[in-house]
Structure 1
C-alpha cells in the first residue's frame, strides 16, 4: 500500500507512467508541420471587413490563436499587440525581408513543412523556398479533397476560405508525415474546459509520443468533412445538455435534450461507421442519473472478498415528494438514519444538479429546497477525508481531499442555528472540515479500490471517469459516493496524467478498430 502524507491534498498513482519530454514531442513531429507564420493581414481587420467597430481581430483569428497557443507547434506573428495577447513571438519584417531566413534563425529546421498564412490581398508576399503558403479569403472554388491533394503533390500554396480551416490542413499534413501509425482525435467541449485541458498540453496539434493528433472540431464548419479526418471523437456531452426530464417514462436517451450543435454531431457520427466515440453517448446516460448509478453500485458486492473490508454503495432512497406522510418509515426501511444527504436525481448538465442539503431531522424534509425527484443518501462518517479516484484507461490515480466532518461534529457546529437543513452547492460551497487530515487518511485499501475501478470500467464501459470514495469509521467500509464522466483529473501531475490520458485514448481507438468487421467478413 502506498503511504500517505498528512496534507490537505496529495496525488498518488498506482502505476508507472512514461513521461514525455518536449524534445520527444518535437521529434515525433519530424516531417510534419514545423512552424506557422501568421501575417498581420489575416489577424487584423481591414477597412473592408464586416466586423464590429471595436473588434481587435478578424473573424476566426481568436479561434485560431487559441488553438495554436497550446498546439506545441512554434507560431510567430508579424505584429505586436495581438502577439502580446496570445504570448506569440513577434517578428518585425518588411516586404523586402527574407522571411524564411529570418524565421530559420529562431526555429529549428529538422525537415518538415513551414506554413506562412497570408490574406488574399497579400498573396504575392514572398514566403521562402520550401514553405507552404496558405492564402485566406480567396474566392477560388476548391475541390472537397484539396487538402489531401496539397499533401500528396507537395504544392507550394493553397487557398482556404476561413482561418478556422487551418487546423484541418495542419492535421492532414501531420497525418501524411506520420503515415498509417497516426490516429486523429477530434474533440469538442465547452471553451473553458477545453482550455483547461489544452494548457496542460493534452490537445497538441502536432503528434504525441504515442502517435495521436488532436483536431479541434468546429461547429462553424461542415461537420461531415471534419469527421472524415478523424479516427475518434472525444466529447464532453454533459456540457451540451439543455434539459433532462426525469418524469418521462421513455428511455433515458429520449429524456435528455442536447444543444443543436451536439445533435448535429450525433447525426454526423452515425454516418461515419468507422469512427470511435469516446465514449458512446448511451454509455454516459447512467452518469446523469444518481438513482441509476446507485442501483449499479449495488453490484459492487461481487468485488468483495470474505474477511476483508468491503466496498459498497451508500444506502439510498428515491423521493418524489418531501411531503410524503410515511417518509420516516421509508427512510428506516432503506436503512437510512439521520442525518442524510439529499441530492437531485439529475447528476449533471443542468443548473441545479449540484444543489444539495444535509438534513438533521425528518420534519425538515417538508420545506426542503432541493430539486425533485431527489435521492436521499446515507451520511457516512469518514473523518472528513475524501479520496478522488481517476480511471484513465487501465491506470488509476487518486488524490486526498478534506471533506465534510462527521455527523456529530457537524451537528454541534450547527446546533446553535437550530439544526436547520444545511443547503450547499457541491461545486462551490461544500462544508468541509477546518482541521487537517486525520490518521484515517492512510487507511484506504488501494487493492480493493483498484478492483472496484476495473469492475466499474467493465460495467459502465467508460474510458475516462472518476469516482469518490470515503472510508467509514468503525466498519472500514469503502463507500463510493459519486461517479462522474471525463473529469479534469487536475490533482494528478501533468507529466504523469497527460501521457496516461493519451494512452487511454489510443487503447480505446485501437481496441475499437480491431472489433470492426473487415471487408471480407
Structure 2
C-alpha cells in the first residue's frame, strides 16, 4: 500500500512526504543480499514481517547493521531503509473524515559511530504497537512537533481515494534535522483503535454518518423517481399498462 504514497505530490501542503526505499523478500535468506544490492538499499535496514498474524513474532522489528547479518533474517519480510527520526513516530488515525494524531516512542537514531562499529541483527518489539505514548514526554520541540494539519488532511484524502479505505492508520516519521520532510513507513487497514484518544465518540459519529448518508441517498433516489413519475404523467407518456420509475404499476 505504500506505493500509493510514493507517487503523491504534496509539496504545496507545508511539507514533503515520501517512503523509505524498500524491497520485499519472499525467498530463502540467501537471496537477501543480492536483492538488497539490486535495490540499492543503504544500511542499516529495518526488517518487518510480511505476514502479521497476531503472534508476538509477527510484530517484531529487526535492525540489520551489516551485510553479513542479512542472511540471519527470516523471510518473508520487508526490508526498509532506516531513517533517523529523533525516536518519535506519529501514528495518524483516520476514521472517515476524522484525523487524530498520537506521538509514540520509536527506534532511537543511529549515529555514524554505531553504524561503523555495529554488527549483527537487533530485534525490537513493533514500536507502533507500543502502549507508551510520547505525548506527555519532555521532548525536543522540533522532534515533537506534529505534522502540519493541511499535509495530513491532503494525505488522508488522497489515500482514501487511492486505497478505497475509510478506516486505516498511517505510521509517519519526520527525518531528523528537518521540519518538513516526512516519511510514511507503514499503512494499516482497519487497525486497533483502542489507543486512540476519544475513539468511542469518534467511532460512534463515524457509524452514525454512514447511516445518515445511506438514508439521504435513499431519499434522493425516491425523490428522483417521484419527479420522473410526475413528468411522465404530465407528458401523457404514462399508461395503465406501464411500470413507472417508482417500480410499481400505474393506476
User: How far apart are the structure 2 equivalents of 1:376 and 1:318?
Assistant: 6
Change (3 A) 1:465 1:404: same
Q: 2:82 aligns with which of 358, 379, 382?
A: 379
The aligned counterpart of 1:318 is 24
Q: In the superposition, relative to structure 1, how do residues 347 and 437 fare at CA in structure 2: closer, same or farther (>3 Å)?
A: farther
Unaligned runs of 5+ in 1: 1-292
Question: What is the total number of aligned residue pairs between the two structures?
Answer: 215
TM-score (norm 2): 0.71
1:466 aligns with 2:180: no
2:3 to 289, 292, 295: 295
**Is residue 158 of structure 2 the alignment partner of residue 455 of structure 1?**
yes
Distance 1:382 1:338 in 2: 15
Note the 1:20-419 alignment, pairs <5 A.
293-299=1-7, 301-302=8-9, 304-305=10-11, 308-319=14-25, 320-324=27-31, 327-328=32-33, 330-349=35-54, 352-368=57-73, 370=74, 372-408=75-111, 411=114, 419=119
Q: Any conservation in 2 of the 1:388–1:399 contact (CA below 8 Å)?
A: yes
Secondary structure at 1:323's aligned position in 2?
helix
Among 489, 499, 505, the residue aligned to 2:207:
505
CA contact (8 A) 1:464 1:487 kept: no
Q: Cα deviations across residues 337-368 of structure 1 (Å, max 9, x unaligned)?
A: 11010111114445632132100001101122
In the alignment, the residues of structure 1 paired with residue 57 and residue 167 of structure 2 have an alpha-carbon distance, to the nearest angstrom, of 24
Question: How many Å apart are 1:297 and its aligned residue?
Answer: 2.9
Helix, strand or coil at the partner of 1:407: coil
CA contact 1:359–1:421 (8 Å) conserved in 2: yes
> Aligned partners of 1:410 and 1:446: how far apart in 2?
36
Residues 5 and 17, structure 2, Cα contact 8 Å, conserved in 1:
no
- TM-score, length-scaled by structure 1: 0.37
Q: Distance in 1 between matches of 2:56 and 2:14?
A: 40
Note if contact 1:391-1:397 (Cα within 8 Å) is conserved in structure 2.
Answer: yes
SS at match of 2:63: strand
Larger radius of gyration: 1
Choose the corresponding residue for 2:187, options 483, 497, 505.
Answer: 483
Deviations 1:266-289 (A, max 9, x none): xxxxxxxxxxxxxxxxxxxxxxxx
Name the counterpart of 1:231.
none
| One of 124, 136, 161 as aligned partner of 1:424 | 124
Q: Secondary structure at the match of 2:5?
A: helix
Provide the rounded CA distance (Å) in 1 between the counterparts of 2:37 and 2:196. Answer: 38
The answer (yes or no) to whether the contact 1:384–1:437 under 8 Å persists in 2 is no
- Show CA shifts across 1:258-309 (max 9, x none): xxxxxxxxxxxxxxxxxxxxxxxxxxxxxxxxxxx2233324x24x125952
CA distance in 1, matches of 2:175, 2:29: 28
Distance 2:194 2:19 in 1: 22
How far off is 1:515 after superposition? 5.3
Q: State the shift of 1:453 in Å.
A: 1.4
- Tell me, which stretches of 5 or more residues in structure 2 are unaligned? 223-244
CA contact (8 A) 1:463 1:505 kept: no
Q: Deviations over 1:139-185 (max 9, x none)?
A: xxxxxxxxxxxxxxxxxxxxxxxxxxxxxxxxxxxxxxxxxxxxxxx
Taking structure 1 as reference, are residues 502 and 294 closer, same or farther at Cα in structure 2, changes over 3 Å only?
A: same
Give the match for residue 50 of structure 1: none
Tell me the residue number matched to 2:226.
Answer: none
Per-residue CA deviations over 1:12-43 (Å, capped at 9, x if unaligned) read xxxxxxxxxxxxxxxxxxxxxxxxxxxxxxxx
- Supply the distance in 1 between the matched residues of 2:162 and 2:48 (Cα, whole angstroms): 23
Counterpart Cα distance in 1 of 2:22 and 2:217? 38
Q: 1:384 Cα deviation (Å)?
A: 0.9
Structure 2: distance between partners of 1:307 and 1:500: 25
